[in-house]
Amino acid sequence: MAVEELIYRGYELALSKIFTSALIETIALALLVSLVVCSINIVTVRWHGRYSFDLDLHGIQKVHKNMVSRTGGIALLSGVLAVPILGHFDYYPLSLQLETKTTILKLLLAATPAFLAGIIEDLTKKVSVRTRFCSIFASAILAAWLLGARLPRLDIWALDGALNWLPLSVAITAFAVVGVTNSINIVDGFHGVAGATVVIVLAGAGYLSWQAGDTLVTQLALAGIGATIGFLMLNYPTGRLFMGDGGAYFMGFWAAEVAVLTIVRNPTINAWQILSIYAYPVIEVLFSMYRRKILHDTVVGAPDRLHLHSLFYRRVACHKFKFRKYPWSRNAGVACFVAAWVSIATLTTVLIGNTIPAAVALVIIQMLIYVAVYMRLVRGHWGHCRSLAVILGLRPQPKGRAI
């Protein structure tokens, strides 16, 4: 018995060393390449700035005062691409080395339509919202074809049986991927907000995959984390380089596919637990659609300044962060609020969301917290229960109050 226990512990130690080596190499490669490409982008801005600068300093969602390049997505893509090209993974069995590299390259290929639509918009400002959405949809279809990345279940009794029909499964997966991808673009309004969100949700999904013994999906998550951290080192807190639509769509798509593959490859992980990890950006995009279409009857894709992070900036950051020496502090302060929220939600979900009832409860709690905080920021006080009806459009809003 002692010999068997010794062998088992030795096996555990070997696996631990393998994972540690993989973690270090994947994150280090993606981070370093992303950081180098970001630095080159900033140094050479005098030559490409006339194409890459965000020239609209007076748009409805703009808060920055100086022109900044919006091509951070190139660095994010480069960071992830470096992992299969430069990484050796010699500590893996040969079959796993090939599977890891092939999967990353296939997912990068699938991400190409979404990334191109975003980066072309960053450079030309002439790509319509519909074209960008269709490009993300095409990327999701490609991922389903190349990697089998289609949801086999939603852990909803009435729907799970229907997902056995391939066209329905692919369609629902594609719409989910479009939603998550666009949600990262929506929260990309202040320095570090989208980047921090991506890092945290990928860390949560990656940890669950690692717990389930899925090294492949863990590597996908780590590649995205490393590339995003490399970008954040120059984006946060001063905003020397922007993620842009290309970066937001690429990392949003990457995070969405990590979520899908986590569910596809790991039957022990319930879909609601993944949704709870991704809840903040998903709730933001759903509430924005509801607010624009149902409450205001405007175009769903129209920009506005009524996102939760925008309200936090105007109601809290502009009043609390008064450091004249650091004018960027108000902008950067929003990321602290968002990162704290997403971190707490992700940690709680990882710890106690392993059953469907618990995960569903966590999703509902996050929705209620979102509405309560949104209500507080809109009205300037916590108000009474009837304020919820105002927020949801079930009662007329008071004069002078905008929702």
pTM value?
A: 0.87
Task: Please tell me the predicted confidence (pLDDT) of residue 1.
Answer: 47
Report the residue count for the chain.
403
Task: Please tell me the predicted confidence (pLDDT) of residue 326.
Answer: 65
Smallest CA-to-CA distance from 251 within 88, 389, 118 is with 118
Binding-site residue numbers for Mg(2+) are 185, 245
Q: Is 30 left (phi over 0), alpha (psi -120 to 50) or beta?
A: alpha
Question: From first to last of its 403 residues, what are the pLDDT tens digits of the chain?
Answer: 465 554 545 444 444 555 566 677 888 899 999 999 999 999 988 877 777 766 554 444 455 556 788 889 999 999 999 999 887 666 555 555 788 889 999 999 999 999 999 999 998 888 999 999 999 999 999 999 999 999 999 999 888 889 999 999 999 999 999 999 999 999 988 888 999 999 999 999 999 999 998 989 999 999 999 999 999 999 888 888 899 999 999 999 999 999 999 999 999 999 999 999 999 999 999 988 888 777 766 776 666 677 888 888 877 766 666 666 666 677 778 888 899 999 999 999 999 999 999 999 999 999 999 988 888 888 765 554 445 555 555 455 555 544 4
Phi, psi of 53 (to 5 degrees): -65, 145
Dihedral over Cα of 53, 76, 249, 315: its sign: negative
Binding-site residue numbers are 185, 245
Task: Please tell me the predicted confidence (pLDDT) of residue 315.
Answer: 75
Phi, psi of 69 (to 5 degrees): -65, 140
Two structure tokens written together for 203: 């860390």
Give 3-state DSSP helix, strand, coil % of the chain, rounded to 5: 75, 0, 25
Give the per-residue SS3 of 239-307.
CCCCCHHHHHHHHHHHHHHHHHHHHHHCCCCCHHHHHHHCHHHHHHHHHHHHHHHHHCCCCCCCCCCCC
- In eight-state DSSP terms, residue 395 is S
Task: Please tell me the predicted confidence (pLDDT) of residue 167.
Answer: 94
Rg of the chain over Cα atoms, rounded to whole angstroms, equals: 21
Task: Please tell me the predicted confidence (pLDDT) of residue 14.
Answer: 46
